[in-house]
Amino acid sequence: GVLPLCRQPPAWGRAARRSSGPSLAPCRTFSNNKILVELNESSGVATMKFKSPPVNSLSLDFLTEFCISLEKLENDRACRGVVITSNVPKIFSSGLDITEMYGKSTEHYAEFWRAVQEMWLRVYGSNMVTIAAINGSSPAGGCLVALSCDYRIMVENPKFSIGLNEAQLGIVAPFWFKDTFVNIVGHRVAERSLQLGSLHPAPEAHKIGLVDELVPEEKLQERAAAVMAQWLALPDHARQLTKSMMRRAVLDRLVAHREEDIQNFTTFISKESIQKSLRMYMEMLKKKKQ
């Protein structure tokens, strides 16, 4: 029969090329305000930990730091894969920060939306292997981050849920959220889940294919490392070209309609009825806290 050429060819992979560069410490850490990044240079694997309590919401600042960190890793020959996880208990990311979408100027909405787009374009189109280690709930934009990775491992706790629940808030997931979702769970599951704004408890998320596997919380990082090793066993170049072939159509669609999509968002979010809904929602959240 035919066997793999070799499982980790020294001629392939950016980590390999690094060996001819200057000698480096085995682990490098760089942290900014909202994200902690640890890069293990011997394995070529970085870990990005969201550390923006209370709920890792995707504010403009968070998104900017996220994109900068991703770009840094993308351009670092020592890095071939990244595990994205949370440093905040019980929450992976709560999604887009509502305060960025309420009572601001049109210019602000546009800037914010461009940052959301940029984040997705970078994660979904990354040349690195991307694994979401989902150690808490992950609604809306938080779910999108996970959906944009190559593989999703979630803690098996049924109290943690994940989904594109935008419809529950009276808003609509944009087409590229939808495209990403359909690529993973198929048209029918996506149609039902998006219309109902479903937040799927971990076991259900696994059943519909939204996440690839469930593990006990204490095994999460170990399992992420094992899966990462499996993906990194492939030659980078072939894996990257294959990934691009699978995702290009959906990525290109946003790139081609980016300004129009920003325009749609700013018009929609500026509507009085939507602003009112968001205010009611924030007031409800405040009351819950007290």
List the structure tokens of 39: 């890069």
Shortest distance in whole angstroms from residue 174 CB to a second copy: 9
| Closer Cβ to a second copy, 121 or 167, answer by number | 167
Taking the CA atoms of 123, 35, 213 and 143 in sequence, report the sign of the dihedral they define: negative
Residue 1 annotated in active site: no
**Active-site residue identified among 70, 96, 194, 214:** 96
* Of 35, 83, 31, 39, the residue nearest 58 (C-alpha): 35
Looking at this protein, which amino acid is placed at residue 262?
I
Shortest distance in whole angstroms from residue 156 CB to a second copy: 17
What is the per-residue binding string for a second copy in 156-185, x denoting contact by CB under 8 A?
-----x---xxxxxxxxx-x--x---xxxx
**Active-site residue identified among 125, 165, 234, 254:** 165
Using CB under 8 A as the binding rule, whether residue 225 contacts a second copy is answered as no
What is the per-residue binding string for a second copy in 184-223, x denoting contact by CB under 8 A?
xxxxx-xxx-xxxx-----------x--x-----------
Find how far residue 217's CA is from the centre of its chain. Answer: 19
**Terminal Cα-to-Cα distance of the chain (whole angstroms):** 66
| Closer Cβ to a second copy, 68 or 215, answer by number | 215
> Residues 33, 75, 242, 267: which binds a second copy (CB under 8 A)?
242
**C-beta separation of 30 from 47 below 8 A:** no
* Of 145, 179, 183, 174, the residue nearest 162 (C-alpha): 145
Residue 196 annotated in active site: no
Q: How many CB atoms lie within 10 A of CB 32?
A: 15
Residue 75 annotated in active site: no
List the structure tokens of 65: 């730091």
Of all helices (H) and strands (E), which one includes residue 223? helix 220-232
> Residues 286, 287, 288, 289: which binds a second copy (CB under 8 A)?
288
The residue to which tokens 């991307």 are assigned: 130
CB neighbour list of residue 107: distance below 8 Å, 6 or more residues apart: none
What is the per-residue binding string for a second copy in 6-35, x denoting contact by CB under 8 A?
x--x-xx-----------------------
| Closer Cβ to a second copy, 50 or 69, answer by number | 50
Residue 166 annotated in active site: yes
Taking the CA atoms of 119, 125, 126 and 130 in sequence, report the sign of the dihedral they define: positive
**Active-site residue identified among 13, 81, 125, 141:** 141
**C-beta separation of 228 from 129 below 8 A:** yes
Catalytic site residues? 96, 141, 165-166
User: What residue ranges bind a second copy (CB under 8 A)?
Assistant: 1-6, 9, 11-12, 55, 90-91, 94-95, 137, 139-140, 150-151, 161, 165-173, 175, 178, 182-188, 190-192, 194-197, 209, 212, 230-231, 234-235, 237-239, 241-243, 245-247, 273, 276-277, 280-281, 284-285, 288
